Structure 1
Amino acid sequence: MKKFTAAMLTMALAGTMLTGCGSTASNTTTDDSAAKDNTAATDTAAEFKLATDGKLTMATNAYFEPWEYYDGENIVGIDPEVAQAIADKLGLELEIMDMDFDSIVTAVSAGKADMGMAGMTVTEERQKNVDFSQTYASAVQAIIVPDGSDIKTADDMEGKKIGVMQGFTGDLSCTEQFGEDAVVRFNKSAEAVMALTQGKIDCIVIDNEPAKKIIEANSGLTILDSKYSQEDYAIAFAKGNDGLRDAVDAALGELISDGTVEQIMNKYIVAD
């Protein structure tokens, strides 16, 4: 399934949403030609606050393929490529900080990172602490179960042990719906998969694209046809840093409009 259609990208462009810290790894990349061609953007960059002068620092959790993941020592994926394109438009160097997902909002709010991109869903709770860009992608929360499981739909998760990624939307939603005792939290999807194959949990709730990568790499597991939920992804910014938010949002809008975001997504998400 090709999840991102032209219509969805148009809707994302039209729907602007203004509404978590230690770094364990970083990528620093820049495009010299793009920087030279963006002198006006560089002048604009002086109007907003950055964690490090001349750099656009992105906080992420690089264990969420295809959105962000390690290729050797480098962090790659949809979000890093979109962030690089934004940085190029603003005439800035991109720096990526890898951290636990639930530290991203804290890092952004404290000014240690300029923005958070990690397949991050816009929620009312997060909007209390950070502002968001417009939506740049829509995603489905999928349910992974062992072959032969008696879980056939989301309703069947009642009374089961549900594996989630700590701080992710699946964590928040499943905790709210099924209760704290039903949820088992993991920092990495590989840890959740191991627990599932060992029978320590009954299912995993995770974004559909990482779910497909898990199924490809692990026999004996399947994704239910019944999805858990659908959500929108956006970029998080510290409250009060309106200049940066607006500049990034404008650059993101241009990248959606000219098809760059769709091209990046199609590079990582192949039609079935």
Structure 2
Amino acid sequence: MSFRPSRRDALAVAALALIAAPAFAADEVDLGPAQPGRIRAAKVEAAIRLIPADFKFATPGKLTVASVPGRLPFAVLATDNKTPVGSEPDIAQLVADGLGLELVNVPTVWADWPLGLVSGKFDAVIHNVTVTEERKEKFDFSTYRKDLLGFYVALTNKIANISKPEDIAGLKVIVSSGTNQEQILLRWIEANKAKGLAATELQYYDDEAVLDLAIQSGRADAYFGPNATSAFKASRQNNLKQVGTFSGGWPITAEIAVTTRKGSGLADAVTAVLNEQIANGNYAKSLARWSLSAEAIDKSQTNPPGLPKK
């Protein structure tokens, strides 16, 4: 069973806005282009030696990285309306510093990054790209973060833990249509049905404010979506709590990675830089800055197994 709010429903829920906690204010986050709080790194000579002699950077002496500004903590445009800032540009800075290069962070749209990378417009893409077997046919990867999905409920909700399919039986769960997390929930619902457990009602909202109000008002029990955005929101509001996380490829583990051109040879150098940052603590500090510590990995890998082809 699913629920999609009508315009009347949306207006009714929106009327509760005065009693709901607001989303974080822009002035609570440094959106200036200078980013003085960004973690910086020293050169990693061993990684620099791994860069192929014939590798041609988009701009000599610089690492040109594509980012997709749109939502924190990943990236948004700074107050100058041209510089991407967020967790992904911070990782890009660590990589550029480690390779001894100046960072050039180029804003783009999601649909354009593959062609931009293949054509040499960018040296790398660093924006929440999950490693998949299909993508590995065209690109190389250096992992730097777990791909996690999270369950979030109102702070006052009595739900303490969602760790298995049976835990959603009888609940009303918000999810985005057409997403991997929706497919996971649909599989769980079918499994629970076969066991004779209570039905789960899926709810869909296009408006994030209405979604938030549905959670706070009790119209919905939980939200299941990308952990990074919800964790960032929860860290700046006092009305949400995480009650469970799952791999974005459940039951298969999925990881996010720096994406480079297939066979260019840059991936091994990037992986070496990331592992040095993991070892010296810069990596942990960078993730903590954007409330992403739960998605930290112990070791970066070049082209690990990815999510299987559909």
Which letter maps to 1:206? Answer: G
Q: In the superposition, relative to structure 1, how do residues 47 and 195 fare at CA in structure 2: closer, same or farther (>3 Å)? A: farther
Is the CA contact 2:129–2:258 (under 8 Å) kept in the aligned structure 1?
Answer: yes
Q: 2:260 aligns with which of 228, 237, 256?
A: 237
Q: Which runs of 5+ in 2 are unaligned?
A: 1-32, 36-40, 188-201, 249-253, 295-310
| TM-score, reference length from structure 2 | 0.55
Q: CA RMSD in A?
A: 4.5
Counterpart pick for 1:138 among 129, 146, 151: 146
The amino acid that maps onto 1:209 is A
Q: Quick check: 1:28–1:95 contact (8 Å CA) kept in 2?
A: no
Identity %: 26
Tell whether 2:55 aligns with 1:48: yes
Shift of 1:141: 0.9
Contact 2:75–2:89, Cα closer than 8 Å, also in 1: yes
- Highest Rg: 1 or 2? 2
TM-score after normalising by structure 1: 0.61
Q: 2:175 aligns with which of 162, 174, 182?
A: 162
Give the total of aligned pairs.
226
1:206 corresponds to which of 214, 225, 234: 225
Aligned-residue offset at 1:224: 5.2
**Counterpart mapping for 1:47-86 below 5 A:** 47-73=54-80, 74-86=83-95
Structure 1 gaps of 5+ residues are 1-26, 186-190
Q: Spell out, residue by residue over 1:60-100, the C-alpha distance to the aligned partner (whole angstroms, 9 max, x if none).
A: 22334234334423322333223222212323221112233
SS of 2:56's partner is coil
1:55–1:94 contact (8 Å) kept in structure 2:
yes
* Structure 2 counterpart of 1:10: none
CA-CA distance at 1:225 after TM superposition: 1.1
TM-superposed CA distance for 1:117, in Å, is 0.9
Tell me the CA shift for residue 266 of structure 1: 2.8
1:132 shift after superposition: 0.4
The residue identity in structure 1 corresponding to 2:291 is I
1:248 counterpart = 2:270: yes
**Distance change (3 Å), C-alpha of 1:117 and 1:205:** farther
- Separation in 2 of the partners of 1:91 and 1:99? 24
Shift in Å at residue 235 of structure 1?
0.7
CA deviation profile, 1:92-134 (whole Å, cap 9, x unmatched): 221112233343334323322111111322222322332101x
Describe how 1:82-93 pairs up with structure 2 within 5 A.
Answer: 82-93=91-102
